[in-house]
Amino acid sequence: MSKRIPYVDIRGYHEGVTGSCIRNTVHFAYGGTYRFLVDYGMYQGEGHNRGLDYNDSVNPEKISAVLLTHPHLDHDGALPIFVKKGYNKKIYMSDAAACVIDIGFRDSYNIMKKDAKLLKKPPLYSETDIERTLSLIEPVRFEQPVRIHDFITVTFFNNGHLIGASVILVQIHEPGQEPINLLYTGDYKHDNVFLDIKPLPFWVYALPNLTIICESTYGTTNSWDIKHTWEEDIIDACSQNRTIVNTAFAQGRFQELMYFIRKLQDEGEIPKDYPVRVDGKTGIDYTFRYISHSNIIKFKEGMDNFFPYNLQFVDEKSRPSVMNYTGGQIIITTSGMGSNGPAREYIPHYLSKSNALIYFPGYTSEETIGRRIIEAEYGQTVVIKNQEIMKRAQVLQTLQFSAHDPADWLIAFLNMFAPRSILFNHGAPEIKDSLESRAKRETGVTKTGILGMGYVYRITSYGIDKAIQK
């Protein structure tokens, strides 16, 4: 009779970049099971209704814990729905993530109500469900192990993707059995403008019996492919007294753009009196929440003072005067892909103006307003909010502010370990395929797999044991 050994069945429910949800079922040698989720997010993009589109196949009664890599809606947005359906156990996340997660929930709820009304569907959760979700949060300090089960320990490590983001280590240590170690990168970046991101402790790199669950968002892009043009473009546009509309994600990019504009001002590259307007309630809320919780977030020295000179915070009342301003100005506005937030007003207003520069300093997914106007030719008509608008503005894009490491950095990260196996997630299917093939060549790891493609991967202390089609 063969000896029973512990194993973990891992299933990713998200085929692409958004809607992150990984179900993990630990089967102990003694016969018991323990199930936990890593993330539970919404599907996002122009083809999805925010707050109305998520993976509905996870039974809350069978899940004993949720581990959150970071507070982005494509990773946490479905948690209030999960709680409404009956989940009532702990949701573990970094203490920095716990500081701000409510802002995204409330913003998503407000958009969800509008989407639900248009589609004549009821909202999938309420403000009460948000409060109940917040009450389940268990804030965790980085590098402080937490025991979520007698035989399972979880440790969160700082991750440069976003303030509050984590790399999560799960260690399964059943007595008398070989340990199983699982490392979830989440959306990963090795550095951050505002934070001092240190390498993982040496003992983590040296872990035996390790399987890494690695993101692959930019799995076909290398660092040398990314052109760093934003500063030069901003300096040139300011010298021509142009209006510059920068779209920005409310977390991270919104604050980074303010910092880099301040840096250009301090270096004398653009005038300190050039008007800078920041618009987007959610982005502004995150900004002041970060600053007010600097005792937890721990900025680099001096980095909590990143406001540009001649700065104006804009709201609905003051927005018309900003759009009617005839001089040069720099605008930072949510949302990053242009399809939500005040960007939906600024882009139609400035797209037809030849003296305007509309800048997307990040990724734009298919069918978003950003992608459509980037791909449109000069002079071509673009339909936005049922308006036909001729493109006369200059429209630019850069990936230099990406909050994800490119492929070469991910491979370098993986080579810091000696894993038994690697599973790839969080990327378009063809990009996950490409990164998997490259990782096999450049890391020497032969046991690899791709989550979100209908397979459950069985992981033992030897890595991937088999893939089970579901």
Q: What confidence score (pLDDT) does residue 46 get?
A: 47
What does the pLDDT read at residue 6? 97
Task: Output the six-digit token pair for 124.
Answer: 């999938």
Distance separating alpha carbons of residues 76 and 104, to the nearest angstrom:
9
Question: pLDDT band for position 114 (50/70/90)?
Answer: confident
Which SS3 state, helix, strand or coil, does residue 78 take?
coil
Average pLDDT over residues 3-14: 92
What average pLDDT score do residues 81-95 get?
Answer: 97
pLDDT the model gives residue 42: 87
> Cβ(153)–Cβ(145) under 8 Å?
yes
Number of neighbours of residue 466 by Cβ within 10 angstroms = 12
Report the mean per-residue pLDDT for the chain: 94
- Pick the closest to residue 97 from 52, 158, 47, 48 (CA basis): 158
**SS3 assignment, position 183:** strand
Three-class SS of residue 62? Answer: helix
Rounded Cα distance, 319 and 217, in Å:
34
Task: Give the residue-averaged pLDDT of 345-358.
Answer: 97
What mean pLDDT comes out for the span 127-132?
A: 97
Instruction: Tell me what pLDDT residue 54 has.
Output: 64
Strand order through the sheet with 137-140: 137-140, 91-94, 65-67, 33-40, 21-27, 7-12, 455-460, 463-469
pLDDT tens readout for residues 13-66: 877 777 789 999 999 999 999 999 999 998 765 444 544 556 677 899 999 999
For the ranges 319-328, 359-368, 423-432, which has the lowest average pLDDT?
359-368
Round to whole Å and give the CA distance between 282 and 219: 30
- List all residues 6 or more positions away from 116 whose beta carbon is below 8 Å from its beta carbon: 51, 52, 122, 123, 124
**pLDDT score of 167:** 98
Q: Tell me what pLDDT residue 51 has.
A: 47
Integer CA distances (angstroms), 287 to 73, 104, 159, 212, in order = 17, 13, 19, 33
Tokens matching residue 168: 């999560």
Nearest CA to 317 among 279, 353, 274?
A: 279
Q: What is the pLDDT of residue 13?
A: 87
User: Identity (one letter) of the amino acid at 202?
Assistant: F
Average pLDDT over residues 322-344: 95
CA 74 to chain centre: 7
> Can you give the pLDDT at residue 69?
98
Provide, rounded to the nearest whole percent, the portion of the chain with pLDDT above 70.
Answer: 97
Classify residue 308 by its DSSP letter: P
Q: Is the pLDDT of residue 221 over 70?
A: yes
Helices (H), 244-342: 253-266, 281-292, 294-297, 319-323
Q: Does the pLDDT at position 396 exceed 80?
A: yes
Enumerate residues 6+ apart whose C-beta is below 8 A from 444: none
The model's pLDDT over 438-462, given as tens digits with 9 standing for 90+, comes to 999 999 999 999 998 889 999 999 9
* 3 vs 333, more confident: 333
Instruction: Give the pLDDT band of residue 364 (cuts 50, 70, 90).
Output: confident
The per-type count for the chain, helices as H runs and strands as E runs, is 14, 23
Per-residue confidence (pLDDT) for residue 260, from 0 to 100: 97
Q: Is 142 exposed, middle or buried (0-12, 13-18, 19+ CB in 10 A)?
A: middle
The reported pLDDT for the residue numbered 2 is 60
pLDDT number for residue 453: 80
pLDDT at 111 over 60: yes
Token digits of residue 155: 């440790």
For residue 304, pLDDT over 90 is answered with no
Mean pLDDT along residues 131-159: 98
Closest CA to 331 of 404, 247, 402, 448: 247
Predicted confidence at residue 53, as pLDDT, reads 59
Question: Residue 366: how many CB atoms within 10 A of its CB?
Answer: 11
Q: What percent of the chain has pLDDT over 90?
A: 85
pTM surpassing 0.85?
yes
| Residue with the larger pLDDT of the pair 301 and 419 | 419
Neighbouring-strand partners of residue 384: 387
The pLDDT tens digits for 146-166 are 999 999 999 999 999 999 999
Q: Does the CA dihedral 230-234-236-242 come out positive or negative?
A: positive
Closest CA to 65 of 29, 44, 42, 34: 34
